Amino acid sequence: MSEHPRHRLDPVIHSPIRLSIVACLAAADKAEFAFVRDTVEVSDSVLSRQVTLLAEAGYVNARKGYVGKRPRTWLSLTAAGREAYGKHLAALTAIAKMPVTEEADV
Amino acid sequence: MSGDEEMSPGRAAVALAGIDQARAAVREHSGWAGRAMAAYGMASLVFFPAGGLVHGVWAAVIGVCWGVFLLSVLRYALPNRVVGRGFRRLYLRATAAWTVLWVTGALIGHLVFADQVAFWVPAGVVVALPMFAAAVRAR
């Protein structure tokens, strides 16, 4: 019997907030911190903490810059982050396709 | 749902729905890139033929208008908060093709077809094509 797809879920991305952050960044080359905050619907401090965790895992890159005089932080997924997200997404899709009768065994 | 809870098919489906929502938000907010490329294409349709057919003071006016247009696009693009996936590569490719076509077209036009509307107007369409193609792909 093949391994249950839940074993392929990435423990770093598994948290709902981090999954939302990574999903948002996966659809973009880069996104501003405030855009991700608004999309994921979290506070600055929560996003900052989660981004730090993702950056420590090597999944997210945070780059500070300026537009005119306004400071901005741009977030992007690293190659490792994109790969981990792809595998996590595949595992989620496999789990979602499983018969509901197996749900109790998961 | 905490990260430690087991993942059931139902929860996986909810997570996938959340992912779709995030994708949709990014797509919605990265539409500016396609609009900017389309504007570049439209401007090329006007400014490339104008550059070959207009002389003297009006050529300087056209040059200033082109500069104002470029600054306007920059001013439009800078405040945007998200760059859609693949747009950076698409932009670089389109700009490279557009530059080659513009320089080649202008050289041929000035050397062989000076002041010939029958060359400059269709050539303007060709020059604009990479930007229109990029605008369509960026949507």
- What pLDDT score does A66 carry? 84
| pLDDT tens figures, A51-98 | 999 999 999 999 998 877 888 999 999 999 999 999 999 999 999 888
Do residue A39 and residue B16 have CB atoms under 8 angstroms apart? no
Chain B residues near any Cβ of chain A (below 8 Å): 1-3, 6-10, 12-13, 15-16, 18-19, 22-23, 25-27, 29-30, 78-79, 81-88
| pLDDT tens figures, A1-39 | 577 888 889 999 999 999 999 999 999 999 999 999 999
CATH number at residue A21: 1.10.10.10
Cβ atoms within 10 Å of A63's Cβ, excluding its own: 10
Within a domain: residue A102?
no
| Domains identified in chain A, total number | 1
| pLDDT tens figures, A89-104 | 999 999 988 887 654 4
* Token output for A66: 């300026």
Within a domain: residue A27?
yes
- Report domain extents, chain B: 32-138
Do residue A93 and residue B2 have CB atoms under 8 angstroms apart? no
Domain residues for A46?
5-95
- What pLDDT score does A104 carry? 47
User: How far is Cα of residue B66 from the mean position of the Cα atoms in its chain?
Assistant: 15
